Amino acid sequence: MRCAMEEITDKMKLFDKLSKKVSEILGGGGPMAERLQSLCDMLCSMVPYYDWVGFYFVDNDNPRELVLGPYVGEPTEHIRIKFGRGVCGQAAEREETIIVQDVSEEDNYLACSLNVRSEIVVPIFKDSCIIGELDVDSHQIEPFDGYDKTFLESVAAKVAMIY
């Protein structure tokens, strides 16, 4: 049985390796949507408990609503989300990262899939304004920790630089 310290070290090494890949993907050529799709694909395939990874962006015509962008995972009916609704809408309204370790305990949860057990949503800021967010769902309860938060916030900051 592995000790918790080994698991933390492995996670830190993984996120360090992935940070470099994130920079390579986002710094590459091609349309932004293709780079973001590649980023979703990579995160979902490389982190075992990232089962749905996607982006929502603030709608230019309705700045209090999010519109689904590139993602990987099960299809979702939540193409548009108003600020304040669900975890994504709450993160946008509060302008802060939200981690829900067990979605069954969340009153304002918008279920994307019956398999989702937890979620982390990280806002993306450009010039101090929220422009979107990175949403990650897991089929596990309580998989996210401070390392995920720090890593995904750094991903969001890198996305903001190409937006």
Q: Sheet containing 65-72: which strands, arranged edge to edge?
A: 80-82, 65-72, 52-58, 129-138, 118-126, 98-100
The domains found in the chain, sorted by start residue, are 4-162 (3.30.450.40)
Amino acid 2: pLDDT: 60
Task: Please give the chain's pLDDT, 163 residues, in tens.
Answer: 566 667 768 899 999 999 999 999 999 989 999 999 999 999 999 999 999 999 999 999 999 999 999 999 999 999 999 999 999 999 999 999 999 999 988 776 666 677 899 999 999 999 999 999 999 999 999 999 999 999 999 999 999 999 8
Neighbours of 141 (CB within 10 A): 12
Q: Give the DSSP letter string of 39-69.
A: HHHHHHHHSTT--EEEEEEE-SS-TTEEEEE
